[in-house]
Every structure is written in C-alpha cells, then in structure tokens.
C-alpha cells in the first residue's frame, strides 16, 4: 500500500508558468542576456535555479549567470510582496490533498523552489498543514538527483516501495527511478505525457481524479 505521496510543486500542484516566465524575462534583461523563448523556459522547470540558468544561458560566464539568478529571485520576492504573484492550484488538487490525508496517506513535496517560496505558496493556499515533509533546492542537489526524495522517505519513515512521486517533468520521473520509487506523471504541466512515460512514469493522469486512481493502484 502507498503510505507516502510526494508531489512536485511547479506544474504539478500549482500553475506557475506565467510567474516563472515573467521573472525569467526580467532576470535575463537585467543580466544583459537574450531573453529565452517560452518553450525553452518550460523545458527547464523542475531543475534548481542554477542548473536551469546553465541550460538557458550556457554561453554566459559565471558572474553573468549569478546576476541573473539574483535578479530572478528579486523578481519573485517583489511579486510576492506586492500580492501580484499568481500561482493558482490546479483544478481538483486541494480536494485531492485533503482526501489523501483523510485516508491516512502522508504527503510531501520535492521541488526546485526555495524554502521561502514553497512555504509561502503552500500557506497562501491553506494546505501547509497537510504535508509531513518538504524538500527544496535550498538543501539538496537539483533533480534528477534522488537526495530530495530520499530525505522525504527518511523523514516520513517509509520505504521506497511504500511511496510514490507525482510530477510533470522527466526530472521528476528520473529522480523517482533513481530513488527506487514509483513515478506518476501529470499531463497539465511542462513536459509531454509520452516523455513522462519514456522517463519511467507508470501512468500519466489527465485529471485529479485520474491521479487519485493511479496513486491507489
């Protein structure tokens, strides 16, 4: 039986595409770099920010990427402080999280976000108390390294065979595979369903209801 369900955040729990693209545009402009197109930005969501910037601007030097990194963080902080940051939960996710907890499933998050960003996001949607373990890029290597998921398993006191990872990118699927955890993809995020299956997903949900069924299989 599945005891622990670990979710990615961006593209899985919340729709952060507009916020990510806006902050990336601002960061690249401030750093004097050519602004990447939206497709390229979508491809790197799920990685930690340094790794994402390395992929988006491989020709830039370390100092320039560091400037872009700080500008990106500042853009997100400003949006959060002003109340203009939009990261809505995907349809049905709040209800699904509550049903899983009511069924005595432990919940976790493994995300490339920062501790501050994740904490603010979950609090804004009133779901913070539903989660038993929160793992972010502040304390772990970037996905697909399994460290985040391994830490979640340890904190929840569960075996890999008792857990499932839910995500929208191949980085999530690869992390789950590396940790020996069953992986489930969602079709409403940043990577295509066939990519998720190819990366190791046992199935790809198109709705919250389908996701619930896959979790309980």
Q: Which residues are catalytic?
A: 8, 10
DSSP state letters, the chain? ---EEEE-SBTTTB--HHHHHHHHHHHHHHTT-PPPPHHHHHHHBTB-HHHHHHHH-TTS-HHHHHHHHHHHHHHHHHHHHHT----PBPTTHHHHHHHHHHTT-EEEEE-SS-HHHHHHHHHHTT-GGG-SEEE-TTTSPPTTSTHHHHHHHHHHT--GGGEEEEESSHHHHHHHHHHT-EEEEETTSSS-HHHHHHTT-S-EESSHHHHHHHHH-
């Amino acid at each position: 039986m599945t005891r622990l369900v670990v979710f990615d955040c961006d593209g899985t729990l919340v729709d952060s595409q507009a916020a990510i693209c806006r902050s990336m545009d601002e960061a690249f402009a401030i750093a004097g770099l050519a602004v990447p197109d939206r497709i390229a930005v979508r491809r790197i969501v799920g990685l930690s920010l340094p790794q994402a910037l390395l992929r988006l601007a491989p020709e830039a030097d370390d100092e320039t990427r560091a400037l872009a990194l700080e500008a990106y963080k500042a853009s997100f902080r400003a949006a959060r402080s002003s109340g203009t940051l939009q990261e809505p939960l995907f349809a049905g996710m709040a209800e699904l999280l509550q049903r899983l907890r009511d069924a005595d499933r432990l919940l976790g998050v493994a995300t490339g976000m920062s501790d501050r960003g994740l904490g603010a996001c979950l609090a804004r949607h009133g779901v913070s108390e539903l989660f038993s373990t929160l793992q972010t890029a502040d304390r772990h290597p970037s996905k697909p390294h399994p460290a985040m998921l391994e830490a979640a398993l340890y904190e929840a006191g569960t075996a890999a065979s008792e857990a499932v990872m839910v995500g929208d990118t191949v980085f999530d699927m690869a992390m789950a595979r590396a940790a020996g955890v069953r992986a489930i993809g969602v079709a409403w995020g940043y990577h295509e369903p066939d990519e998720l299956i190819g990366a190791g997903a046992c199935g790809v949900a198109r709705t919250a209801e389908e996701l619930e069924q896959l979790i309980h299989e």
